[in-house]
Amino acid sequence: MKKSIKDLGDIKGKVALVRVDVNVPLDENKNVTDDTRIQAIVPTVNYLKDKGAKIVLMAHLGRPKGEKNPEFSLAPVAKYMSKVFGEEIVFIPSVEEAKPYVDKLVDGQIALLENIRFYKAEEAKDDDMTFAEELAKLGDFYVNDAFGAAHRNHTSTAKLAKILKPAVSGLLMEKEIRCLSQALDNPERPFTAVVGGAKVSSKIGVLENLLDKVDNMIIGGGMAYTFVKANGGKIGNSICEDDQLDVAKAIEKKAQEKGVKLVMATDVLATDDFSGNGTNKFVKIDEIPDGFEGVDAGPESRKAFAEVLKSSKTILMNGPVGAFENPKFAEGTKAVLEAIVEATKAGATSVIGGGDSVSAAKKFFKAEDFTHVSTGGGASLEFIEGKVLPGVAALDDK
Catalogue the active-site residues.
37, 199, 355, 378
What is the distance between the alpha carbons of residues 295 and 84, in angstroms, rounded to a whole number?
Answer: 39
| CA distances in angstroms from 341 to 160, 183, 220, 355, listed in the order given | 39, 16, 18, 18
What is the distance between the alpha carbons of residues 330 and 2, in angstroms, rounded to a whole number?
Answer: 39
β-partners of residue 217 are 193, 262
What is the distance between the alpha carbons of residues 91 and 110, in angstroms, rounded to a whole number?
Answer: 9
Q: Where are the beta strands (DSSP E) in the chain?
A: 15-19, 54-58, 90-92, 110-113, 141-144, 167-169, 191-195, 216-219, 234-235, 261-264, 267-271, 280-284, 287-288, 293-297, 314-318, 349-352, 372-373
Secondary structure in 3-state letters for 75-121: HHHHHHHHHHHCCCCEEECCCCCHHHHHHHCCCCCEEEECCHHHCHH
Is 230 in contact with 249 (CB distance < 8 Å)?
yes
Question: Using the 8-state DSSP alphabet, how is residue 213 labeled?
Answer: T
What is the distance between the alpha carbons of residues 188 and 200, in angstroms, rounded to a whole number?
Answer: 27
What is the distance between the alpha carbons of residues 162 and 233, in angstroms, rounded to a whole number?
Answer: 53
- φ/ψ of 321, rounded to 5, equals -105, 15
What is the distance between the alpha carbons of residues 309 and 190, in angstroms, rounded to a whole number?
Answer: 9
What is the distance between the alpha carbons of residues 377 and 360, in angstroms, rounded to a whole number?
Answer: 13
Q: Quick count: other Cβ atoms within 10 Å of Cβ 103? A: 10
3-state SS class at 5: helix
